[in-house]
Amino acid sequence: MIIAYVSNRDQECYTELKDEFEAVHSLNSIDDFINFYARSKNRDIVLIYRVEQLSDIEQLADLHFSNNIYMIVVGKDDIEYSLLAGKIGVDAYLNEEQSNPNSVKELIFKSQSIIKKRRGKSNISVFTGISGGVGTTTITMNIAKNIAENYPDKNVLFLDFAYTKSVSNLFFEHVQPNKTIIDIAMLQNLEMEDLFDNGLERYSNNFYFVPGIQKHTDREDLEKPENIQRFLNFINFIKDKFDFILIDVGMFEDVELEIDIQELADSIYVVTEFSIPSMSILKTYIDIIDKSGWYSKTHIIANRSDSFGTVTEEEAKKILSKGLKHQFEVHYSLPNDAMHLRECWNEAKLVHDVYPTSPFMLGIEDMITKFFIHDSALHVNNIHKITKSNSIMEKIKKWL
């Protein structure tokens, strides 16, 4: 999330926000903001606009922004000012006395849920790992396949945006794909027929995927600014066609494409382990999350949580929250099920298909019930799934 403070005076009024958020920009005028927006339109933006007269508010009337902007106007304690702001579509009007940094911060934190509602009912989930090998791709693929199979009236899409050579296509029985995610960026027009000819694959009746890059040199294409915009346009286009979109971005890297995709997502799942080195890496990433305004939509998932030599969940919580403004918790822990996962990985098989009742898959099903299938209207036969989930953790303990 980006904070843009527009004022021809008091530009340092909200300097405290720079300690709270990663990107805070002070601008002199609405014209400056328009130019700034053109360069930053892929990010969620909170506009704080200090006005001196009614004509300043009127400038907003002719502007056409996307649904990723939340507007706060600060001005006189005058009903005419606040009425005009409301008529134009400003999200919040604050008079001078109300516009203290704490009030503004509260509005900023609320803005994300409002922006999410404006985007519609899409469910875009991004999965990223603190390092390679922590199980990010395995978790994402098996969640996607499980949702698709158990909820056949819902369309599921798996996108592989990892910056390393993709392996997910092997698990989806496409050993040498002719088209990959890079070909999506080459399209001039977004039409479903063209997407199916340029990377979008159908795995089953309601499960689709786009293979990731197949050679390391393709990474350069992921980083091109013009391609980043095309990828984001693709996600915005495709989200209305699928009920669940799961995006694997692989190992976390502070690169523009990953940041923009996570900004666009409804939920972010950060996969880690409970080792001391993993906690150190995770804390660095959590600091970025904290300052990017993604706190409310981020879930930390601990894989192999009961492995030998790991820290406890309580210890992990203390490590993560030290020095940060929010208390971060581990939202879910998956067991160490090396026996089943190692075999499936070596044979490029989904655990869901080979060992559907293994401890790992029981944990995955519980995750799906907790994070994804939380609306009973999603499926007419969902009641038995919810009832079943209550005993899943007991079954995991029995297995172990």
> How would you label 366-396 residue by residue, b for 16+ Cβ within 10 Å and e otherwise?
bbbbebbbeeeebeeebeebeeebeebeebb
> Do residues 144 and 274 both lie within one domain?
yes
| Euclidean distance between CA atoms 359 and 397, whole angstroms | 8
> Do residues 242 and 366 both lie within one domain?
yes
| Euclidean distance between CA atoms 63 and 166, whole angstroms | 42
* pLDDT on residue 42: 67
3-state secondary structure of 235: helix
> How many domains are there within the chain?
2
CATH number of 80's domain: 3.40.50.2300
Contact 192, 241 (CB under 8 A): yes
Contact 344, 354 (CB under 8 A): yes
Q: Which of 154, 146, 185, 52 is nearest to 356 (CA)?
A: 146
Place of tokens 């849920």: 113
The pLDDT profile of the chain, 400 residues, written as one tens digit per residue, is 788 889 887 767 777 777 777 678 888 888 898 888 887 766 788 999 999 999 999 988 877 777 788 999 999 999 999 999 999 889 999 998 888 888 888 898 888 778 777 766 668 999 999 988 899 999 999 999 999 999 988 899 999 999 988 999 999 999 889 999 999 988 988 899 999 999 999 999 899 999 999 988 888 999 999 999 999 999 989 988 899 999 999 998 888 899 899 988 989 999 998 887 888 888 888 888 877 778 888 999 999 888 766 778 778 877 777 776 667 788 899 999 988 999 999 999 999 999 999 999 999 999 999 999 855 334 333 333 334 444 444 544 444 4
> Do residues 78 and 158 both lie within one domain?
no
> Do residues 102 and 167 both lie within one domain?
no
> Do residues 101 and 164 both lie within one domain?
no
Which helix H or strand E contains 256, and what residues bound it? helix 256-264
Please list, in sequence order, all residues whose beta carbon lies within 8 angstroms of the beta carbon of residue 285, skipping any fewer than 6 positions away: 130, 252, 270
> Do residues 190 and 321 both lie within one domain?
yes
> Do residues 113 and 128 both lie within one domain?
no
* pLDDT on residue 384: 37
> Do residues 216 and 328 both lie within one domain?
yes
Structure-derived torsion over alpha carbons of residues 262, 368, 345, 149, reported in degrees to the nearest 10: -110
> Do residues 197 and 248 both lie within one domain?
yes
Q: What's this model's pTM, rounded to 2 decimal places? A: 0.75
3-state secondary structure of 366: helix
> Do residues 136 and 92 both lie within one domain?
no
| Total Cβ atoms within 10 A of residue 43 | 18
- The residue among 118, 133, 154 that closes a domain is 118
* pLDDT on residue 392: 43
CATH number of 259's domain: 3.40.50.300
Residue 368 DSSP code: I
- The residue among 93, 118, 143 that closes a domain is 118
- The residue among 118, 140, 161 that closes a domain is 118
Amino acid 129 reads G
**Residues of the domain holding 90:** 2-118
* pLDDT on residue 41: 67
* pLDDT on residue 400: 42
* pLDDT on residue 374: 59
Rounded to the nearest 5 degrees, what angle is found at the Cα of 332, between the Cα atoms of 155 and 129? 75
> Do residues 238 and 343 both lie within one domain?
yes
Q: Which of 278, 303, 262 is nearest to 137 (CA)?
A: 303
Q: Which of 173, 154, 328 is nearest to 246 (CA)?
A: 154
> Do residues 86 and 153 both lie within one domain?
no
Judged by phi (left if over 0) then psi (alpha if -120 to 50, else beta), residue 309 lies in: left
* pLDDT on residue 377: 34
- The tokens for 121 are 């009912």
